Chains A and B, each alone.
Chain A
Amino acid sequence: MHESSDENWNYNFLKRLVDDVDENRNLLQCIDCGRCVGECPATKISKFNIRKIIRQILRGDKTVLKESDIWYCFLCERCKRVCPRTGINIPILILNLRNESFKKGYGPRYDDLTKYFEMAERFLTSGFVVNNPLDGILPEKRVKELDRICNFARIKYIFDAKYHHPIKLREIFEHKKKKNKEYRDKNGEK
């Protein structure tokens, strides 16, 4: 059976991914033309292939969450512009996929996340992602507001790990991965 065959499709995964983004319900209208792939900068330098990813989603193939490819998307929105269909928002789809990947404990590679240590620290202590911004840093009271907004976000865990527990983050990630694997093995999930 061809991978694009309707009989192969399973919309549950798609529904979960696009539940709160109305426009991506139009993903079902994808005609497999490949213009998104042809103009994609990430495709030129990695195995990232948005047409393949859309097929996987439409078939309910959750292995896409494990693949490192999804972390190569440039979020440049070129695919959205060249798509002959209207209302297919691939950049948001990728962000939703990455979110699911995080939740399942796959996430990006730990070493990739560490590159955000400094940026997260600067943002949560000065309001900007660079040291010594052009107009100086944010007043202390406003920095506290940002910190409050970011409560329970992943940026806080990264910041805390960098600031207080340099090796804690790796431990948390590895523990989470192990637990998720145990859960999947127990429940026979892929």
Chain B
Amino acid sequence: MEKNKLALDIKKIEENFPNNPLEFFKGKKLCLFKACLEKYFPGVRFGIENLLEALGLEVVICENQSCCSGPFFQRNLITRAQFSAINERNLNEIDEIADILLVSCNGCYNSLLRGRDFLKIPEVKDKTEEILKDLDNHMEENKYTEQFKNFDNIDLKIVHDLDFIYLIRNEVAKNLKFDLKGLDVAVHYGCHYLNLDRDKDMETYLKNKTKLEELVALFNGKLVDYSEKELCCGWGASQLVIHPLEALKITYRKLKSAENVKASFILMPCPTCLYTLSKPEFRMKIEELFNDKLEVATIHLNELIAILRGCEAEQCVSLRRQSTRINLIYNIITNNE
């Protein structure tokens, strides 16, 4: 399996900076990828941004970055070359202002690596180049064509927030004000983290993923196993929008399984999974369909870090729509001092 050159080589950083991997990131510009669904959970962005700043790292946001376009590619509404062109446009814009790209969403992370993967197919690469050339001609710039010629040598490296937080976990732990004592935590990785082979060697790809579990232990929480740990959240590349009655069966199965083991909350590294597992309308529909009111709370890793670091409630649990989802967790954790 060929490793993707775009993904940050975490093993190499661990080898070169065994005592403190954070040192690798010092002096580098870190860009946060704008995931569409962060809109509903501003604490996901705040959690990582505030952590990076507290650790003395420089954070930037790319004004010219668009949605990854994954939802349209997954429904065959754009071609592979168009998907790759959108991806290259984003990568080039981000490369201009940053050294490392951090991604909070499994879907966006998958798209960024997949778009680049498609360029290994000569036919797709040629068409992508053609699209970018047309774009430059139309916009009277040589911006994307010139950069695309060297796409394999792009300096930018990308890393998933979970991998980044795990890599610098000891430094994160030093910055925590609270812990997870007394809380039973179920973890959910999300399909496009759990099943993705794009940035991994075969061994890493196939072996069990344990980063979330290790972080829960580091934060002094009690891990609870549940039967549907590896099941999809139900989003299923927009199946929840297209076939809601069927897809909600998967969401119900997942949530019920976590409730059965009395999990205090489900911890995950993806805002799309969080949206699916927590949206009040989905919970109400589940109650209507299955005559079962599920109340298990859900939280993104970045939001949890913000709470554990003692950030203001309004910042780490701010929501466009009021919900008891995270307030309960917040109150329990902050009373643990």
Taking Cβ atoms with an 8 Å cutoff, the residues of A that contact B are: 20-22, 41-42, 44-46, 71-78, 80-81, 86, 95, 98-99, 102, 108, 112, 115-116, 119-120, 123, 127-130, 132-135, 138-139, 141-142, 144-146, 148-150, 153-155, 158
Instruction: Decide if B86 touches A146 in the complex (CB within 8 Å).
Output: yes
Tell me, in angstroms, the Cα distance from A21 to B114 when the chains sit together.
13
Can you list 5 A-B pairs with a CB-CB distance of less than 8 A?
A: A44-B253, A76-B236, A95-B73, A115-B238, A149-B135
User: What is the CB-to-nearest-CB distance from B248 to chain A, in angstroms, rounded to a whole number?
Assistant: 9
Write the nearest CB–CB distance from A86 to chain B, whole angstroms. 8
- The closest CB in chain B to the CB of A74 belongs to B236
- Nearest A residue to B66, CB-CB: A127
The answer to the question of B89 belonging to the interface, with a C-beta cut-off of 8 Å to chain A, is yes
From A115, A119, A135, A150, contact of B82 by CB (8 A): A150
Which residue in chain A gives the minimum CB-CB distance to B134?
Answer: A148
The CA-CA distance from A138 to B37 in the complex, in Å, is: 16
B64 contacts the other chain (CB 8 A): yes
| B-chain residues with CB within 8 Å of residue A150 when the two chains form the complex | 78, 82
**Chain B residues within 8 Å of chain A by Cβ, number:** 61
Smallest CB gap from B123: residue in A: A20
| Smallest CB separation, A42 vs chain B (Å) | 7
Q: How many whole Å from A61's CB to the nearest CB in chain B?
A: 21
The docked-state distance in angstroms from the alpha carbon of A144 to that of B39 is: 23
For residue B135, which residues in chain A have a CB less than 8 angstroms away from its CB?
145, 148-149
**Contacts of A155 on B, CB cut-off 8 Å?**
72, 77-78
Q: B249 and A45: CB pair below 8 A?
A: yes
Which residues in A have their C-beta under 8 angstroms from that of B78? Answer: 150, 153-155
- B13: chain A residues at CB < 8 Å are none
**Do the beta carbons of B89 and A149 come within 8 Å of each other?**
yes
In the complex, A43 Cα to B239 Cα: how many Å?
A: 13
- Say yes or no: is B270 at the interface (Cβ < 8 Å to chain A): no
In the complex, besides A108-B242, A132-B39, 18 extra interface pairs with C-beta distance below 8 angstroms are: A41-B236, A41-B250, A45-B246, A45-B247, A72-B243, A74-B191, A74-B239, A75-B236, A77-B191, A112-B242, A133-B36, A133-B38, A134-B38, A149-B135, A150-B78, A150-B82, A153-B77, A158-B77
Kindly state whether residue B167 has any CB partner on chain A within 8 Å.
Answer: no
Residue of A nearest to B242 (CB): A112
B34 touching A135 by the CB < 8 A rule? yes
B321 at the A interface (CB under 8 A): no
